[in-house]
């Protein structure tokens, strides 16, 4: 009979006289040894002769150096002696009859069976994890890996892995808003303007940056989406699409486009990654006289469907007051074609109802023929469209969140098979989890009157969406830290597919409050499960001139293993994280 010691102590730990110890990640079996009079019994003496590291008091010293304990074999040993005073007599009796292997308990000492679990508990080793030097604070989330991304500002993170194509993460970069200058890429030895980074993540503890696709000038390429083994052009190639903008004011700019790259060679010869085509606008007069043409204001963000070949984008174009959603056919990546558009009333010139809102980006549920959009600025709407006919999307529902809330950024659908206080006849129910984006008024000293937050809408009856709950990180001292305080977006995809939140857990990028993990199991009562707030480093710089340097977690995405990848807006790097708590936030 044998018992295992819990893992956790670091190597070269000296055993105390009150507990067993063992090296980290080693399975160590127990030989329980007593000493009721300060001595050691015969069993201990035999092992002391065989294991000279055992001291005169029966304690193994520096057991990690021991040749037996340093290997995973059945004969591994951990000795204890001199238990705490109140336990000594009982433990001594139990120890006399407890042996490794096939030695039984003495029938005359059955009472020791009662003490034995307590005895084993007294030998159980637990130890706190080593402090994380990269964390300002964390709860139920641990750092798995890190890459500095060459100090480049970063936004969208897209993970996509499969057995045939390997394990990858793609990171879209902001322009260099610190000084407008390129950074050294050690892979090529060249100074390069920010573009798109490609990292191999088979070992998530050491994500390897294998290539950076630069821009020709200081441009914003925040967005990135990828498809593998593309079937529509019969090439079987892998493609990447990103935005590319020259930012002139705020987040608007000129010379706006989406660029398509062939990335098939990323794992063999990434230097052969090549530009395939660009989308610079929509056909002139394609939505009426003077409607359509070169992109204006933004070519902001999009998602490319591997299943249909459609690319859903958020861009401005002539004939519209602000950004709308376009659907492009990329079945032939060399010849993109416009298919259709989606917008809420007021965005097209001549329509009533415009309040300054713009379509931020699409969240696409092709399986259920729905497109979800959040509208930033004063309008503050969230909306859903029927995309059964991609050429003519139809507005299904729209809700105005502002006031009292802010302009939605991310709108994600979630289906619930059970909801507290709802019976079977009212199930399943469908909700939309909405995340605001904190902005300039949320930087120190937080002059915005209403804090940005996250909301849950019941959209089961699509003609009557209504809010059921709000969740936000308490202000605490975050408004004094510098940079933005508030959410940016939730993890919208899992391994390149729409995040359906099957486990009812959401990962949130929350700017200077780091990464937050929340429990969505009850849509009427959202709760926090954990968080991770990274420290800044030598690459970090202020979000804006006059602001203190503070972490600005910008996006988070989830890979095929359930690990989260979080980017930072001010150059701190990419963090690979694991949630370590249970479903209700307790330790696993």
Residue 50 has pLDDT above 50, yes or no: no
235 with 364, same domain? yes
Q: Bridge-partner residues for 241, per DSSP?
A: 225, 260
247 with 388, same domain? yes
Residue 89, SS3 per DSSP: helix
Q: Bridge-partner residues for 497, per DSSP?
A: 494
pLDDT at 407: 87
Is 77 part of any domain?
A: yes
* pLDDT (tens digit per residue) in 337-393: 999 999 999 999 999 999 999 999 999 999 999 999 999 988 899 999 999 999 999
Is 244 part of any domain?
A: yes
How far apart, in whole angstroms, are the C-alpha atoms of residue 549 and residue 376? 26
For the residues 85-99, what does the mean pLDDT come to?
38
For the residues 448-473, what does the mean pLDDT come to?
96
The mean of the pLDDT values for the chain is 84
Is 579 part of any domain?
A: no
Residue 556 has pLDDT above 80, yes or no: yes
pLDDT at 434: 98
Is 270 part of any domain?
A: yes
CB 579 within 8 A of CB 150: no
Cα–Cα nearest to 99, from 57, 140, 42: 42
Q: Who's near 547: CB < 8 A, 6+ residues apart? A: 443, 444, 482, 483
pLDDT-derived band at 306 (thresholds 50, 70, 90) equals very high
pLDDT at 384: 98
For the residues 403-427, what does the mean pLDDT come to?
95
pLDDT-derived band at 12 (thresholds 50, 70, 90) equals very low
Specify the CATH number for the domain of residue 263.
Answer: 2.130.10.10
How far apart, in whole angstroms, are the C-alpha atoms of residue 1 and residue 206? 40
Q: Which of 344, 370, 400 is the last residue of a domain?
A: 400
93 with 242, same domain? no
235 with 348, same domain? yes
For the residues 495-521, what does the mean pLDDT come to?
98
pLDDT-derived band at 32 (thresholds 50, 70, 90) equals very low
Burial of 36 (0-12, 13-18, 19+ CB in 10 A): middle
pLDDT greater at residue 93 or residue 301 = 301
pLDDT at 378: 81
390 with 276, same domain? yes
For the residues 398-413, what does the mean pLDDT come to?
93
pLDDT-derived band at 586 (thresholds 50, 70, 90) equals low
CB 534 within 8 A of CB 551: yes
**Residue 208 backbone phi and psi in degrees, to 5:** -110, 120
* pLDDT (tens digit per residue) in 138-179: 999 999 999 999 999 999 999 999 999 999 999 999 999 889
pLDDT at 587: 65
* pLDDT (tens digit per residue) in 226-253: 999 999 999 999 999 999 999 998 889 9
For the residues 556-581, what does the mean pLDDT come to?
98
pLDDT at 582: 86
How far apart, in whole angstroms, are the C-alpha atoms of residue 485 and residue 472? 11
pLDDT at 51: 36
Is 413 part of any domain?
A: no
Is 205 part of any domain?
A: no
pLDDT at 35: 34
Distance between start and end Cα atoms, the chain: 27
Residue 125 has pLDDT above 60, yes or no: no
Query: Which pair of structure tokens corresponds to residue 48?
Result: 């002391």
Residue 477 has pLDDT above 70, yes or no: yes
Please give the residue range of the domain that contains residue 250: 223-400
How far apart, in whole angstroms, are the C-alpha atoms of residue 419 and residue 525? 11
Q: How many domains does the chain have?
A: 2
pLDDT-derived band at 113 (thresholds 50, 70, 90) equals very low
**Residue 95 backbone phi and psi in degrees, to 5:** -70, -30
Query: Which pair of structure tokens corresponds to residue 297?
Result: 């204001």
Query: Which pair of structure tokens corresponds to residue 283?
Result: 């056909």
What percent of the chain has pLDDT above 70?
A: 77
pLDDT greater at residue 92 or residue 499 = 499
CB 224 within 8 A of CB 170: yes
118 with 239, same domain? no
CA 541, 545, 548, 552 torsion-angle sign: negative
Residue 57 has pLDDT above 50, yes or no: no
Is 14 part of any domain?
A: no
How far apart, in whole angstroms, are the C-alpha atoms of residue 285 and residue 290? 5
Residue 567, SS3 per DSSP: strand
Q: Which of 338, 366, 400 is the last residue of a domain?
A: 400
DSSP state of 43: H
Q: Which of 338, 365, 400 is the last residue of a domain?
A: 400
Cα–Cα nearest to 170, from 295, 266, 292, 81: 266
pLDDT at 117: 45
DSSP string for 383-437: EEEE-SSTTS-EEEEEEE-TTTS--EEEEEEEEES--TT--GGG-SEEEEEEEE-
DSSP string for 150-188: GG-----EEEEEETTTEEEEEEEB---TTTS--EEETTT
CB 551 within 8 A of CB 136: yes
Residue 120 has pLDDT above 60, yes or no: no
Is 248 part of any domain?
A: yes
CB 377 within 8 A of CB 388: no
CA 586, 521, 161, 572 torsion-angle sign: negative
CB 457 within 8 A of CB 440: no
For the residues 60-85, what does the mean pLDDT come to?
35
Largest CA distance in the chain: 101
For the residues 257-272, what does the mean pLDDT come to?
98
pLDDT-derived band at 127 (thresholds 50, 70, 90) equals low
233 with 87, same domain? no
């Amino acid at each position: 009979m044998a018992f295992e010691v819990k893992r956790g102590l670091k190597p070269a730990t000296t055993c105390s006289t009150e507990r067993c110890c063992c090296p980290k990640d080693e399975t160590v079996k127990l030989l329980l040894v007593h000493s009721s009079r300060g001595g050691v019994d015969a069993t201990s003496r035999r092992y002391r002769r065989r294991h000279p590291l055992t001291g005169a008091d029966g304690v193994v010293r520096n057991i990690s150096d021991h040749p037996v304990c340093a290997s995973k074999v059945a004969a591994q040993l951990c000795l204890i002696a001199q238990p705490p005073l109140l336990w000594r007599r009982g433990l001594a009796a139990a120890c006399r009859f407890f042996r490794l292997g096939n030695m039984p308990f003495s029938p005359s000492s059955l009472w020791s069976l009662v003490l034995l679990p307590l005895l084993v508990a007294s030998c159980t080793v637990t130890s706190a994890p080593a402090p994380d030097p990269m964390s300002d604070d964390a709860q139920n989330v641990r750092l798995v890996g890190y890459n500095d991304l060459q100090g480049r500002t970063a936004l969208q993170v897209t993970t996509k892995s499969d057995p045939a194509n390997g394990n990858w993460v793609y990171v879209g970069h902001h322009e260099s808003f610190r000084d407008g200058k390129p950074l050294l890429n050690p892979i090529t030895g060249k100074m390069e303007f920010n573009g798109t980074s490609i990292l191999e993540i088979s070992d998530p503890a050491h994500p390897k940056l294998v290539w950076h696709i630069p821009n020709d000038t200081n441009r914003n390429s925040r967005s990135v989406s990828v498809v593998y083994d593309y079937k529509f052009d019969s090439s079987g190639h892998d493609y990447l699409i990103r935005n590319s903008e020259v930012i002139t004011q705020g987040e608007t700019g000129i010379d706006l486009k989406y660029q398509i790259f062939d990335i098939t060679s990323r794992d063999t010869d990434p230097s052969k990654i090549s530009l395939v085509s660009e989308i610079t606008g929509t056909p002139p007069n394609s939505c009426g006289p003077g409607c359509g043409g070169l992109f204006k204001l933004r070519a902001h963000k999009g998602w490319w469907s591997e299943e249909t070949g459609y690319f859903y984008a958020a861009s401005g174009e002539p004939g519209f007051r602000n950004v709308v959603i376009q659907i492009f056919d990329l079945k032939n990546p060399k010849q993109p074609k416009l298919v259709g558009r989606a917008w809420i009333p007021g965005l097209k010139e001549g329509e009533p109802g415009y309040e300054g809102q713009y379509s931020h980006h699409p969240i696409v549920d092709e399986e259920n023929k729905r497109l979800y959009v959040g509208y930033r600025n004063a309008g503050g709407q969230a909306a859903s469209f029927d995309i059964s006919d991609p050429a003519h999307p139809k507005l299904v529902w729209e809700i105005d969140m502002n006031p009292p809330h802010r302009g939605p950024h991310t709108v994600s659908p979630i289906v619930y098979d059970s909801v507290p206080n709802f019976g079977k006849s009212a199930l399943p129910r469908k909700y939309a989890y909405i995340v605001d984006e904190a902005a300039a008024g949320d930087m120190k000293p937080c002059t915005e009157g209403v804090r940005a937050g996250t909301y849950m809408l019941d959209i089961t009856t699509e003609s009557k969406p209504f809010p059921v709950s709000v969740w936000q990180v308490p202000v605490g001292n975050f408004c004094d830290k510098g940079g933005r305080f508030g959410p940016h977006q939730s993890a919208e995809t899992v391994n390149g597919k729409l995040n359906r939140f099957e486990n009812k857990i959401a990962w949130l990028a929350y700017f200077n409050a780091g990464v937050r993990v929340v429990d969505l199991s009850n849509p009427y009562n959202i709760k926090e499960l954990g968080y991770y707030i990274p420290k800044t480093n030598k690459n970090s710089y202020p979000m804006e001139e006059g602001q203190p340097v503070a972490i600005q977690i910008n996006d988070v995405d989830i890979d095929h293993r359930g690990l989260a990848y979080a980017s930072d807006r001010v150059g701190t790097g990419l963090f690979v994280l694991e949630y370590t708590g249970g479903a209700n936030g307790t330790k696993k």
